[in-house]
Amino acid sequence: MSAAEWARAPFSRYWLSAFLADFGDGVRLAAFPLLALQVTNSPAAVAAVTAVQGLPWILIGLGAGAIVDRRDLRATMVVVDVTRAIVIAALALAVAMGALSLPLIYLTAFVTGVGALVRDTAAATAVPRLVTKAELERANGRLVAGRLVGDELAGPAVGGWLFGVAAAVPFAFNASGLGLSILLLLTLPSVFAAPRRPPESTGPLRSAVRDLREGLAWLRRDRPIRNLVIAVALVAAADGAYLAILVLYVTQVLDQSAAVYGLLLGLGAVGGIIAGASCAWLTSRIGTTRVLTTTMITMAAAQLVLGLTSSVFVTGVTLVCISGAFAAFNVTSMSVRQRRSPASMLGRVNSTYLTVGRSAAAIGALTGGVLAATAGIHAPILLGVLPLLGAAVLIARTRPTREVPA
């Protein structure tokens, strides 16, 4: 495909829009803690910036799907990105004028967190409108690979560098990138309208609550998706537990510097990018259930080795395997949700899945810290093998059933 043909393809423009948004997120997330340090020296206050960005998932995560299912997906993403761009640009202006305060940082972090919640849900729901079912793994793999590059590799590196130029620059850069993302979304075909709904006799709040109940009821009845939600809770909890103490593992167990820690994280992201790009090929060879099961077994085996080794080289290899398997799991599970869920309910299924995963990761991180403090740094890594194996058994025992028609 030539560059001109690539640019004309709707999904290519959608991918570039998503990449610009993800890249900007990586820039902003790296700059936020550095900005907080200009206002306070309190570690708790600095850490709270990250916590505030994740708070919307706990408060309104489930409800985001009900909103997404009722609205035009493109319009939803445009409104969210416009709002985020305005708020982030206002923060950049405040920094440039010397009017920065900790409450302003927290407010910006919370609003952008709400925006990321709604956009992520809408983005996962929009993909089936742009590609065929046979192309879902390939499309989702490209999106996951782009997100890893933006969120975990290039974005944070650029964010740190831009902050060194001037504190306001990374936020102005993020707002500008969102502007380009919005323009690309506006070039997409009009295929994102919400499914037709019968006239409603209740108010919007009651209707949204009813929609949420309907989504949860459908999810309980659909065994493959229900088990997938349980599996992501187990996987995310194990992942969150070991990631929370990985810096301690590298600096205390491996006796390495913070620079080596950053290098190891980068290696893990590379593994995820490779896995995301090759997931469609793997799924076509062995099928979705085997891919899901294999990824969880791979994560369990690699995490077991990680908990037993004191070699930097072996640690690097295991992190590549864990991140690659986790990326393949995410791509495949996203494709399964998109295929099985009715179009009118996909937003609610996605928001439930994402909320459970994010909440489990947060709980896992807290548990990992407690275990490391009471039973040693190796404890959360080794104990995390058990939920991963449990998730593998759960998915392997799930009998695939026919897809739900749109």
- Structure confidence by residue, pLDDT tens digits, 37-46: 888 887 678 7
pLDDT at 294 over 50: yes
Q: What is the pLDDT of residue 292?
A: 95
Three-state helix/strand/coil letters over the chain:
CCHHHHHHCHHHHHHHHHHHHHHHHHHHHHHHHHHHHCCCCCHHHHHHHHHHHHHHHHHHHHHHHHHHHHCCHHHHHHHHHHHHHHHHHHHHHHHHCCCCCHHHHHHHHHHHHHHHHHHHHHHHHHHHHCCCHHHHHHHHHHHHHHHHHHHHHHHHHHHHHHHHHCCCHHHHHHHHHHHHHHHHHHCCCCCCCCCCCCCCCCCHHHHHHHHHHHHHHHHHHCHHHHHHHHHHHHHHHHHHHHHHCHHHHHHHHCCCCHHHHHHHHHHHHHHHHHHHHHHHHHHHHHCHHHHHHHHHHHHHHHHHHHHHCCCHHHHHHHHHHHHHHHHHHHHHHHHHHHHHCCHHHHHHHHHHHHHHHHHHHHHHHHHHHHHHHHHCCHHHHHHCHHHHHHHHHHHHCCCCCCCCCC
CA 10 – CA 212 distance, rounded (Å): 31
Average of per-residue pLDDT across 143-160? 87
pLDDT, position 84: 96
The pLDDT value given to residue 305: 96
> What pLDDT shows up at residue 404?
45
- Please write the tens of the pLDDT for every residue from 357-405: 988 888 888 888 888 888 888 999 999 999 999 999 999 988 654 444 4
According to the model, what pLDDT value does residue 199 have? Answer: 56
Domains 3-186 and 204-396 share a fold: yes
For the chain, give every domain's residue range: 3-186, 204-396
CA distance linking residue 113 with residue 315, whole number of Å: 32
Residue 184 reports pLDDT greater than 60:
yes
pLDDT band at 406 (very low <50, low <70, confident <90, very high): very low
Tokens (6 digits) for 286: 């062995």
- The DSSP annotation for 72-121 comes to -HHHHHHHHHHHHHHHHHHHHHHHHTT---HHHHHHHHHHHHHHHHHHHH
CATH class of 204-396: mainly alpha
- Residue 198 has a pLDDT of 60
pLDDT at 159: 87
29-35 mean pLDDT: 85
Topology of domain 3-186 in CATH is Growth Hormone; Chain: A; (1.20.1250)
Higher-confidence residue of 240 and 259: namely 240
pLDDT at residue 3 in the model: 55
Which pLDDT tens digit goes with each residue over 319-371? 999 999 999 999 999 999 999 999 888 999 999 999 999 888 888 888 888 88
If pLDDT is split at 50, 70 and 90, which confidence band does 268 have? confident
Confidence at 202, pLDDT banded by 50, 70, 90 = low
| Mean pLDDT, residues 50-69 | 84
